[in-house]
Amino acid sequence: MKNIVKKNIVIPIILSAIFISTTAFKNDFFEIAKQIEIFTTLYKEINMNYVDETNPADLMDTAIKSMLDDLDPYTRFMNEQDVEAARINNTGDYTGIGARVKTQKDKLIIIEPYKDYPADKAGLKAGDEIIKVGDIMVSDYKEDSGNLLKGASGSTVNVTFKRNNNTKTATIERAEVEIKAVPHYSMVDTKTGYVVLSKFNRKASAETSYAIRDLKAQGAERLILDLRGNPGGLLNEAVNIVNLFVPKGQLVVTTKSKVKKYNKQYFTSREPLDTDIPLVVLIDESSASASEIVSGTLQDLDRAVIVGARSFGKGLVQRPKQLTYGTQVKITISRYYTPSGRCIQSLDYWNRNENGEAVRVKQENYNEFKTKNGRKVFDGGGIFPDVTINKVKNTTITKAILNSDLIFDFATDYYYKNPSLDIDNFKLTDTDFKDFKTFLENNNFTFTTDTEKALYKAYETSIKENLNNDIKADYDALISGLRNSKKQAIDAHKDFILKSLTEEIVKRYAYREGLYEYYKANDAHIKKSTQILGNTMTYMDYLR
């Protein structure tokens, strides 16, 4: 049924909004009107005549998503719940239980309770499985069960949850929750300040400025700005963060679009906080969008040394457009470019390969640009650090392990088997790694490689062609070899697995705040950054 409406569909609501607001589409008036009429007729006939009962809302949802899937991952239809989630992300404020929660089919999982907020005060912990909210069984609730936890500040909600196969209850008093853009800042040593910026909401630059001022008052003469895992956010806040370190009137980012009014240059507009303090910026594979604007601009201006791994490469700019009934469509309108002219975007969604997949620019096709001091930098997507540390290739196995939630589940088991932990001296051992591999086996962890998919497809074809008797033994031998290779691949990613496990376990005992303290003593990125900042000649050599 869904296949019927999946291809060649134009959604009236979205196209009407596009048509009204964007003059570039006026020349296509006839084609737009034609496609709207075709879709409306098709939609009516399907709902009236299909052999089984259809759900008009489900059909429309599939049609919208299928149409937008042909564009890029960031152009998205937003229902009323999505719009509210975006508001919370941008403001950092909401009313609720104060915990990160994952919705599953028949339960809600507490992923991370925020320290001293309602869920934490009520005794809930990461790994708790909420099965009942008030009188409503989560398994019977057909909509997003996470909404059951929302309510006015001061109101209470009773939850029933499972922990270690035991059923417990708790009463949570909802409250105003503030999600900080800067969840942590402190001194690494007597002269080095450390600031974690986790998102670019409306408070990002104000909180970062406050943190830096406080650290300088404590004696900080150099700074580490940690943007690892920061997915981005508001563009103007990225400009304001850069403005803390560079003079007023400096170009920070340029956006380019086929629509003339979206072609803009963004300059710093305030007096800076400190243009001289030595600065290292930490990035990784999850640093995206606004994080890349900040790190890329500071690199182009030779204002900071960038340490870590190549960033995500999200250089597409979205703008929400209001639709009817409280919904929106978030449309990609342009691309980001750093001051040197580099495009941040890594994947090309408009020139896909034969499998319909977006592709990266090949390294031999990277374009060279120059920083303010004449250093060579390159495009090709994302920001390349000046100092690369612990680069982890995003492989099939790393994705599979992270998506399986088994690192999270192992940490839950570890926490209850080890009631106390010396965080300062905590380090997982080879025995712990062996235990994790056993945990994977006991939980039937599997993943399928592209090689296996290709072999299975070839074997299926051989069956149709009556050749399977000739190649069955070879096929089985190859599959057996691949299984052994997959086991070896887990060992090859030991460092990545142990790091991920360590971070998850430390949070169980000391919350996220404790994880940042653990980083200061154990993290290779922070150690390297402190070393660079501790030697003026070394620091300046990176920027020459």
Give catalytic status of residue 289 as yes or no.
yes
Residue 113 token pair: 């309770």
Q: Point out the catalytic residue in the list 199, 314, 486, 528.
A: 314
**CB atoms < 10 A from the CB of 120, how many?**
19
With contact defined as beta carbons under 8 Å apart, do 187 and 219 qualify?
Answer: yes
Gap between the Cα atoms of 235 and 191, Å rounded: 31
Rounded CA-CA distance 379/360 in Å is 11
User: Going by C-beta distance under 8 Å and a sequence separation of 6 or more, which residues neighbour residue 95?
Assistant: 150, 151, 152, 153, 174, 175, 176, 177
Q: In whole angstroms, what separates CA 502 from the centre of its chain?
A: 20
Q: How far apart are the first and last CA of the chain?
A: 62
* Tokens describing residue 465: 């062609």
Strands 359-360 and 264-267 come out as unpaired
Place of tokens 């001194």: 187
Give the bridge partners for 377, in sequence order.
Answer: 369
Catalytic member of 145, 205, 289, 334: 289
- The strands making up 279-283's β-sheet, listed across from edge to edge, are 184-187, 192-196, 222-226, 279-283, 305-308, 387-388
How many C-beta neighbours within 10 Å does residue 440 have? Answer: 19
Q: What is the DSSP letter of 71?
A: T
What is the three-class DSSP state of 198? coil
Q: Quote the tokens at residue 441.
A: 């086996």
CA angle (456, 458, 459) in 5-degree steps: 60
3-state SS class at 223: strand
Q: Give yes or no: 314 in active site.
A: yes
CB 511 within 8 A of CB 115: yes
Q: How far apart are CA 81 and CA 145, in angstroms?
A: 12
User: Which of 264-290 are b and which e, b meaning 16 or more Cβ less than 10 Å from the residue's Cβ?
Assistant: eebebeeeebeeebbbbbbbbbebbbb
Q: Active-site positions? A: 289, 314
